[in-house]
Amino acid sequence: MTLKRLILLLSAAVLTAVGCSMRPDYYEFTLEATADCEPATRTSYEGDKIFSWTAGDKISVIFNNGSSDKFFTLTAQSTGPTSVFKGSVPNGYVLGASDGNQWALYPADEHTYEGGVISFRQRPDVDFTTSGFSANIPMAALGEGGSFVFKPMCSVVKFTFTGLAVSKVNFTVTATNTHALSGLFPCVNGGFLLSWYAKYAKEGSPDRTISFTENVSDGKAVFYVPIPGWDGAGFIPVITLTDAATGNVLYNRTAKQGLPSSATASLGRIVVLPEINLSDAPPSEATTLTYTGSDEIILNPERGFYKAVEYHSASDTPLKASKIASVRAEGRSLILLEYYLTDFMESDISSAYLSLIEKSLQNLRSGGAKCILRFAYKNGHADKDHPWDATETWVMRHIQQLKPLFTTYSDVIFVLQAGFIGSWGEWYYTDNFIMSPSSTSDYAPRKRVLEALLDAMPADRQVQVRTPKFKMKLVGSAPLSRSTAHNGSNAARVGAHNDCFVASGSDQGTFNNDSERSFWASDTRYTIMGGETCALSDQCHCEAYGSNPGTLSELSTYHWTYLHDGYKQEVLNRWKEEGCFDLIDKMLGYRLVMKDASFGAARAGENMSITLHLRNEGCAAPMNPRPAYLVLTRTSGSVLAQWELGSDPRFWGPDDGEITINKTIQLPAGISGEVKLHLYLPDASGTIASDPRFAIRFANDGMWDDATGYNTIYKFNL
C-alpha cells in the first residue's frame, strides 16, 4: 500500500478598505502529492481503481490548541494532482503555527467530535458502485503545521455479477461476525490515530449491514464494498442480490473464497473477487433475515371494529353482498348480526325467518366476512315491551331449530353471544329468568340455556356471556390457564362480551368487584372478549385519567378482540379527538409481527432448519382453531411442498412475549432455480380454507400476497 502525503501550502488573501486593513477571513490551501505517490490520486489503493481530486470535493480540518476545537470545511476549486481549497479559518487560528495537532478528514461532513474523540459516519446506503465508489472511501490524516499524511480507513472488496436478466439490482452485505459496516466509528482519540486493525470496527456502532442499488449493463453489475478496519479475525459476509423491481432474491450466499483474513495484508487494498455468474450460482447458504414491521391498519379475519345489522321480521332483506363489500372496504371483517324473535315468542321460528338467517350467512361466506351472532326477543325494556323474553321452553325450542344453521355455517360464525335471555339478549331485563339471581336454583335456568347453546354450536366455537359473574357461577370461577385452554370443555368455550366498556367505574354493572375484574383479565387470555361502549365517562379517555387506567390499558388488560365502531358515538369521537382511534383499530385482536428468521443451507432433497421469531403486538391471540403452514412455491406461484408448522396460533398471545418456532423441512429433490418460502395461516374450515380473505396477514412490509394469503418470508435459490 502506498500512502499519499498531502502538503498544505498557505497564501493569505488580504482584504483592504479605505483607512484601514482588515484581518483575512479565509486562507487558500494548495494540496500537492509528493513524488512517492502516483499522480492525480487522493490515496493510492492496490487494485483496479484510481482516485483523483475533482471539483466539488471536500475535506475537513479540525484545529486543536487545547482550549477549543472547530470544524473547518474546504471546497475544491480545480482538478488534477494540485488542487486549491478555500474556507473560513476559525477566529484566532493560523494554520501552520505550532498550536498542537490538526486533523484532516475525507469526505467532509461525515464525522462527529465529542470528548476529544473524532468519529467517522459510514452511511449504510451510500453509493459504492462503479460511478460513486471513489467519492465515499474515508481517509484521515493527523499532522502539524499543515503537513498531513492521509491513511485509508477501509479495505475494499470488489464484487462482480454477470448473467443478470434484470435492469436494476439491490446489493446487501451483512457481516456474519461482530464486524460493523456502517454507523459511527472512532478514528482520532486524544490526539492519536487509533489502530484501525484493532479498534476501528470493533468500537464502532453495531450496524453490520450496508446496501446499495446499481443499474445492470449488459447483464453485469459491479459493487465495491468498503470494509472498515479489517481486523485479524477476518471478515466473512453474507451477500444478497435482489431484483430491485420485484424484490426476488437472485443470489444469497456467504462469501468465503478470496477474502484475506489478515488486516495488515488487506487494509488499503481492493480485493478483487472472481466474477459470480448467476447461471452457475450455488445454492443459498444459511442466513438470518430481519423483517420490517408495518404501521398499517391491517384488514384481518376475526378481529377489529365491527358493523352492526338488526333483523326484526322475515320480510327484512338478507345481508347483501354489496353491504359486505362496503364493510370490507372500510377495513372491517366482522358484522354483528342481531336477530329479534319478537314474532315467535310462543311459536316456532318460521321457515321464512330461518331462510333470512341462512341467506345472510351464505352471503358472508361468499363475501369474505364473518359474524358475531346474537338472538333476542325485545330491543327495549319499557313497560310496553313486556314480556322482555320468552319462556325457557320456547328458548330451548328455538335453539334446537337454529342448531342446523349453527353447524352448517360455523365457518362464518366467529362467535355466538348467549343472547335469548332479557332485553337485547343481555341477560338482565328479563321476565322469565329472574332478573337478579343469587342461589344455585336461581341460576339453573340460565345454566340450561348456556349448555344448550354450547351443544348447538360445534365444539370448536365459543359462546359469550355478558358478565364475569355469569361465567363464574355457571362454569366455574377458576380462570383458564395454558393447560386448560382450548381443550373443548365448557369453561374453555365460554367467552365474554362487555356492552358498556369504559362507561363507568363498574362498566355500568358489568363488574361487581376487583375479583371479577381479575378473573376476566386472566380468563380472556384464552377466550374471546368483545362488545361496545354505552356512555361517556372519565374511564374512556385514551390514556390514564386520574385514577382511571384509560381505554388503551383496559383493551390490553382484558384482551379485547372486537369493538363496535358505531356506538356510542360520543365515546368514539373522544378517541378520535384524543388521537387513539386508529391505534385501537390496529391493536384490537391479534397483530402478528415477524421479527427475524434463520434458515439453514438450502439444497434440493436435503433438510433445512428454520427458526422463526415473532411477536403479537395486538391485544389478544387468534381465538378460533387455525393451522399454520410453511409453503414452498416457485416464483410463478406453483406449490412445490407444504409443511404444518406444529405451533397453535391460539397460543401466540401478546402476553407470551417473543414466540420462537423451530421447524426442519426436507426440500423437494430434483428442483432448481429461485423459490419462495411462505408462512400461511388459512381458516381451519374446509369451505373457506382456500379463500385468502380468511387467511391471516402479518403486520410486516412487503410480505403479504393478496392473491394467495401467503406471507413470504424467504426467497432463495436451489
All residue ranges of the chain with pLDDT < 70 are 1-57, 62-103, 109-111, 113-117, 123-137, 141-152, 176-179, 187-207, 229-235, 255-269, 279-283
Other beta carbons less than 10 A from residue 432's beta carbon: 18
Structural domain spans, the chain: 4-282, 301-461, 471-480+498-589, 592-717
Show the cell assigned to 510. Answer: 358489568
Supply the Cα-derived Rg of the chain in whole angstroms: 35
CA distances from 192 to 5, 102, 189, 626, 630 (A): 18, 10, 6, 62, 54
Kindly report the pTM of this predicted structure.
0.69
Query: Given this model, what pLDDT does residue 500 score?
Result: 97
Q: HSE of 202 in the Cβ direction (CA atoms, 13 Å)?
A: 11
- CATH code of the region 592-717: 2.60.40.10
Cα–Cα distance for residue pair 525/654, rounded to 1 Å: 9
The secondary structure element, H or E, covering residue 553 is: helix 551-557
Query: Given this model, what pLDDT does residue 399 score?
Result: 98
| Among candidate residues 162, 317, 309, 307, the one with its CA nearest the CA of residue 241 | 162
Dihedral (CA of 247, 251, 254, 257) sign: negative
Show the cell assigned to 481. Answer: 390457564
Residues 6 or more apart whose Cβ sits within 8 Å of residue 565: 305, 306, 307, 332, 572
Query: Given this model, what pLDDT does residue 717 score?
Result: 84
Q: Is residue 239 within 8 Å of 253, Cβ to Cβ?
A: yes
Query: Given this model, what pLDDT does residue 243 score?
Result: 84
| Among candidate residues 417, 418, 616, 651, the one with its CA nearest the CA of residue 526 | 651
Cα–Cα distance for residue pair 551/529, rounded to 1 Å: 15
CA distances from 233 to 186, 258, 260 (A): 19, 15, 10
Query: Given this model, what pLDDT does residue 25 score?
Result: 35
Give pLDDT tens digits for 520-534: 999 999 999 999 999
CA distances from 358 to 307, 309, 314, 407, 689 (A): 19, 15, 12, 11, 20
- CATH code of the region 301-461: 3.20.20.80
Q: HSE of 480 in the Cβ direction (CA atoms, 13 Å)?
A: 26
Query: Given this model, what pLDDT does residue 173 score?
Result: 83
Give pLDDT tens digits for 281-300: 666 778 889 999 999 999 99
Give pLDDT tens digits for 442-478: 999 999 999 999 999 999 999 999 999 999 999 999 9
Query: Given this model, what pLDDT does residue 105 score?
Result: 73
Cα–Cα distance for residue pair 201/501, rounded to 1 Å: 54
Q: Is residue 417 within 8 Å of 373, Cβ to Cβ?
A: yes
Query: In the chain, how many H helices and how many E strands?
Result: 11, 39
Show the cell assigned to 506. Answer: 363498574
Angle at 181 between CA 179 and CA 185, to 5 degrees: 90
Q: Is residue 242 within 8 Å of 157, Cβ to Cβ?
A: no
Cα–Cα distance for residue pair 421/232, rounded to 1 Å: 77
Q: Is residue 236 within 8 Å of 176, Cβ to Cβ?
A: yes
Show the cell assigned to 458. Answer: 360445534
DSSP per residue over 508-529, as a string?
A: TTT-SSHHHHHHHHHHTTSS-E
| Among candidate residues 161, 167, 183, the one with its CA nearest the CA of residue 253 | 161
Cα–Cα distance for residue pair 365/324, rounded to 1 Å: 10
Show the cell assigned to 13. Answer: 488573501
Cα–Cα distance for residue pair 130/107, rounded to 1 Å: 17
The secondary structure element, H or E, covering residue 711 is: strand 710-717
